[in-house]
């Protein structure tokens, strides 16, 4: 199903905005939002890509240093379907972060012994 016209900002979905928010700070100086938007929707509508896969794939691509010396355009990255593998890596990374956040044990401070210097100091101060 080919779009009759190029997409506009009014056509943008929350998923595309999330993708662009990830991509924009690292984009090539000649990269264009319009071309990326057209390609994003082409992958979603014609190829049946899950928009969240694209967002997660872009997050992993940027996180893993994919924009080294050579910076590809968002349109090129989408055409490679690079998001198909990298989206799973991003989800594994996020799951690992979530499990680490819940793997926290509260440690109670050990009681100070009677001969600890601070107890001795308090005793000296109270006698003075």
Task: Give the helix/strand (H/E) hosting 45.
Answer: helix 33-45
The model's pLDDT over 80-120, given as tens digits with 9 standing for 90+, comes to 998 998 999 999 999 999 888 787 788 888 887 877 888 88
The sign of the CA dihedral 11, 45, 79, 62 is positive
Roughly what angle, to the nearest 10 degrees, separates helices 83-102 and 51-63?
70
93-117 burial code (b ≥16 CB/10 A, e <16): eeeeeeeeeeeeeeeeeeeeeeeee
The model's pLDDT over 30-70, given as tens digits with 9 standing for 90+, comes to 888 999 999 999 999 999 999 999 999 999 999 888 766 77
pTM (2 d.p.): 0.72
């Amino acid at each position: 199903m080919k779009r009759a016209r190029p997409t506009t900002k009014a056509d943008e979905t929350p998923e595309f905005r999330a993708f662009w928010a990830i991509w924009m700070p690292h984009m090539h100086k000649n990269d264009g939002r319009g071309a990326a938007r057209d390609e994003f929707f082409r992958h979603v509508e014609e190829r049946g890509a899950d928009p969240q896969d694209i967002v997660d794939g872009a997050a992993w691509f940027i996180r893993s240093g994919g924009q080294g010396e050579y910076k590809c355009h968002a349109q090129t990255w989408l055409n490679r379907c690079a998001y198909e593998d990298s989206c799973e890596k991003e989800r594994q990374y996020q799951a690992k972060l979530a499990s680490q956040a819940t793997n926290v044990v509260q440690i109670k401070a050990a009681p100070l012994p009677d001969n600890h210097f601070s107890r001795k100091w308090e005793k000296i101060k109270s006698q003075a």
